[in-house]
């Protein structure tokens, strides 16, 4: 699955404090953000679309392992 990079602006002191306390709890900031985005995705995107994306991702993984072309996943 191709990953996207997200850039947002946020208060620097709040971000530093959040990272500090997450580390103290043995957690990772990036992992927590991904969990939050997954929750938002599951809450917002209809189940049929989620299933389609899941099937598409599974097919992508299978194609990648077999060395087949991935052109059918490119967007115009």
**What pLDDT score was predicted for residue 31?**
97
What are the tens digits of pLDDT across the range 52-76?
Answer: 999 988 876 655 565 554 444 444 3
Q: Which structure tokens are listed for 23?
A: 């580390």
Q: Which structure tokens are listed for 49?
A: 């679309």
What are the tens digits of pLDDT across the range 3-44?
Answer: 999 999 999 999 999 999 999 999 999 999 999 999 999 999
């Amino acid at each position: 699955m191709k990953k996207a990079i997200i850039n947002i602006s946020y208060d620097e002191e709040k971000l530093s404090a959040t990272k500090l306390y997450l580390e103290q709890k043995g957690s990772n900031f990036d992992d927590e953000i991904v969990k939050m985005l997954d929750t938002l995705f599951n809450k917002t995107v209809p189940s049929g679309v989620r299933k389609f994306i899941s099937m598409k991702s599974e097919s992508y993984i299978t194609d990648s392992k077999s060395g087949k072309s991935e052109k059918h996943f490119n967007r115009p």
